[in-house]
Chain A
Amino acid sequence: MIGDLVALLGAGVGGLGGLGGVGGLGGGTVAGLGGPVGGQLINLSPHLPILPIVVPLVAAAIMLLLDERVRNAKAIIGSLTTLALVIVSLMLVRTITGQGADGVAQVLVYRLGDWAAPFGIVLVVDRLAALMVLVTSVLGFAAFLYSLARWAIVGPRFHSLFLLLLMGLNGAFLTGDLFNLYVFFEVLLAASYGLLLHASGRARVRAGLQYIAINLASSMVFLIGVGLMYSVTGTLNMADLAAKAATLGAGDLALYKAGFAILVVAFLTKAGMWPLSFWLPTAYSAASPPAAAIFAVMTKVGVYVTLRMLMLASGSGDATGIVELISPWLLVGGIATIVYGSVGVLSSRELPRLAAYSTLISSGTLLAAFGTADERVIGASLYYLVASTLAVGAAFLLAEPIARRKEVEAVQVVEPVFGDDFETNLRSEFEGYEVGVVIPASTALLGGAFVVCALVLIGLPPLAGFVAKLGIMSGVLAHETAVSALSWVLVSVMVFSSLAMLLAFVRKGIEAFWLTGEETTAEVGSLEAIPIGLLLAICMAITLAAGPSMRYIDLTSAELTAPTVYSEAVLGEQQ
């Protein structure tokens, strides 16, 4: 009977899909998808790539119609939407990996309005895009649940803004058209301005002013780059750009390379590469916790797009010379970012600032790894991307419950943590105590989560951060010919950043949990604890399941370094 219901549902949805397809009303056809994908229930599967964009958009629109005081309905709609996003992204990953079990890469291409590329806009789902959408959905789900505890109602329209940010993120990861990328960048930036300013206040508005100004300027740079690239090739489709660029004459090629470099500057501003990163710590540490957690994925958009454009340009043996032009800058800039982030981490006294500088360190590591243009290194760095993004999100979410335990004065008195008073106080306080001091559950949970989060970010065994950093370092050093000096610099800078984060996190942990003083037992609700636990559990899970994860990621990097699969899927018959 269930089977009949399922079949009925499938037939109904299929009928709707057919209507849509015939009418051409936003119908899409999929190239490269063949065979059943697990039964009649998933008749939605031809439209799977558009769902991560459309579902949060519709939900956000519905929520805008509801009055501000209607909180429960918004909470329920939002939770269901973010949960649906997680499920859809899991289905995308399953679709990508399920077919092509023989290792042949499969790429889902979704044509908007059924216009053929390169004239129409396409959504392209390959392994990397599916992975990024999955990370976004998981982090979005966790941050949204966390916000329902207390942060969502502090300011107006939080739920809608959050879902629109998720829509922008998913769109930026899935699109295959450069100007469509600009539009989704603006969608996610506009939502992020609202989220940064959420729960107002002097510090936030000051940070917001600078954040908006720098992002508007980088959008202008983006447009200049896109304009230059369009003017010489006549197309905006990413795959077609790479194909046409290989056939350009010398003068046009120079303009194209200039446009490409200008474009990459805009992405690197978003990613937080060193000279362009001074806005990041202020803005991210000022944001409210759930907003800051989802901002951790926003830096990764810049990193992702840089990688995508670079890998597409490397097709046909880097005929345009772009990879040769850009990679050294990425390597050097990434190293500088790691150093800047490490120094910043040592200078931070509060956890949000610590987490913001950790974001910079993870961005820098990723950019430097992409700058080596080595397939193994790129694979390990994608694993690092997943682990560090989830851990940074958890760190932002942890910051506020930890700060709740202590009364913080308005002016931070800079005291040495390892002062002499510490030991004598400890001894006198514990004299005469009975064995077994009761630790409140909330403190234990927060402390445990802090330790796990710190371990992943620092890169200490046995968690995912260590596996990832080890992978990157061994990939960088395992070169067939001589290892360059810059590679040695990269490895030593990565070790230095781990040391700096170790010092900073240990100091913060001691200050937050071990020092006795004026503290209250923080009340940590389950809505706050569960998302943090979920993010850290996933970090641990990808360590335990490191085999399957690395297999997926190795196939991802193999697919990236052989971009003909992407181009053929998008441009298809015209090739």
Chain B
Amino acid sequence: MELVMAIGIGVVAASGVWLMLRPRTFQVIIGLSMLTYAVNMFLLSMGRLRIGDAPVLESTTGIDPAAFSDPVPQSLVLTSIVISFSMTALFLVVLLAARGLTGTDHVDGEEVNA
């Protein structure tokens, strides 16, 4: 399972980075979103990938904590998702403002004739 996860995170992150380096602002935003997906999956996998671990403790005594899934990476990912989506929303507004003020959706603010 680690192999699938690793390949998935790698492909999504690489696509995100490639898109971020493109000249159109919409591509940059989609690239950033893909990069945040990859990083969030990476953070989640930091708690070790196991199938069937219960997330909630059954009782506070007489149980082996190692049999349950690690709660900290889950909370880290939640925080990260919330922060990323609000930043993406802000970035979208700035993209629209840039489109309005510069008249183009090129990241440099003006069409670069190659």
Chain A residues within CB distance 8 Å of chain B: 179, 182-183, 186, 190, 193, 197, 200-202, 205-206, 208-210, 212-213, 216-217, 219-220, 223-224, 226-228, 230-231, 236
Contact = CB atoms under 8 A, between A and B. Distances in A.
A212 B98 contact: no
B76 A206 contact: no
Given A200-B97, A217-B20, A217-B32, A227 B46 contact: yes
Contact of B90 (A179, A212, A220, A227): A212
A212 B109 contact: no
A216 B19 CA distance: 14
B46 A213 contact: no
Contacts of B90: 190, 193, 212
A217 B72 CA distance: 23
A205 B104 CA distance: 13
Given A216-B32, A228-B46, A209 B25 contact: yes
Interface size for chain B: under 10, 10 to 19, 20 to 34, or 35 or more residues?
A: 20 to 34
Given A212-B87, A217-B32, A227-B76, A202 B94 contact: no
Contacts of A190: 86-87, 90
Interface string B68-93: 00001100100110011011001100
Contact of B39 (A183, A193, A205, A220): A220
A212 B98 CA distance: 13
B84 to A, nearest CB: 8
Nearest to B47: A231
Contacts of B73: 227, 230
B87 A216 contact: yes
Interface in B46-77: 46-48, 72-73, 76
Contact of A223 (B20, B80, B97): B80
Contact of B36 (A182, A213, A220): A220
Nearest to B103: A202
B57 to A, nearest CB: 15
A206 B46 contact: no
Contacts of B43: 223, 227
A226 B73 CA distance: 10
Contacts of B109: 202, 206, 209
Main secondary structure of the interface of B (DSSP, over half): helix
Contacts of B102: 202, 205-206
Contact of B94 (A186, A209, A236): A209
Nearest to B87: A216
A230 B94 contact: no
Contacts of B107: 209-210, 213
Contacts of A217: 20, 32, 35
B39 A223 contact: yes
Nearest to A180: B79
A186 B85 CA distance: 12
A186 B82 CA distance: 11
A224 B20 CA distance: 18
Given A224-B42, A236-B72, A186 B25 contact: no
Contacts of B84: 216, 219
B95 interface: yes
Nearest to A236: B72
Contacts of B86: 190
B18 to A, nearest CB: 13
B1 interface: no
B101 interface: yes
Contacts of A193: 90, 94
A212 B94 contact: yes
Contacts of A179: 76, 79
B99 to A, nearest CB: 9
A405 to B, nearest CB: 28
B76 A230 contact: yes
B66 to A, nearest CB: 12
Interface string B1-45: 000000000000000000010000100100010011001001100
Contacts of A202: 101-102, 109
A485 to B, nearest CB: 36
Q: Which of A186, A210, A227, A230 is most buried by chain B, counting CB atoms within 10 A of its CB?
A: A227
Contacts of B72: 230, 236
27 contacts: A179-B79, A182-B79, A186-B83, A190-B87, A193-B94, A197-B97, A202-B109, A205-B94, A205-B102, A206-B98, A206-B108, A206-B109, A209-B25, A209-B109, A212-B90, A212-B91, A212-B94, A213-B20, A213-B91, A216-B91, A217-B20, A219-B87, A223-B39, A223-B43, A224-B39, A227-B43, A231-B46
Contacts of A220: 35-36, 39
B101 A205 contact: yes
Given A179-B79, A206-B101, A212-B87, 11 more contacts: A182-B79, A202-B101, A208-B98, A209-B95, A212-B94, A213-B91, A220-B39, A223-B76, A230-B46, A230-B72, A230-B73
A182 B28 CA distance: 23
A230 B94 CA distance: 34
Given A217-B20, A220-B35, A183 B94 contact: no
A220 B108 CA distance: 23
A556 to B, nearest CB: 32
Contacts of B47: 231
A228 to B, nearest CB: 7
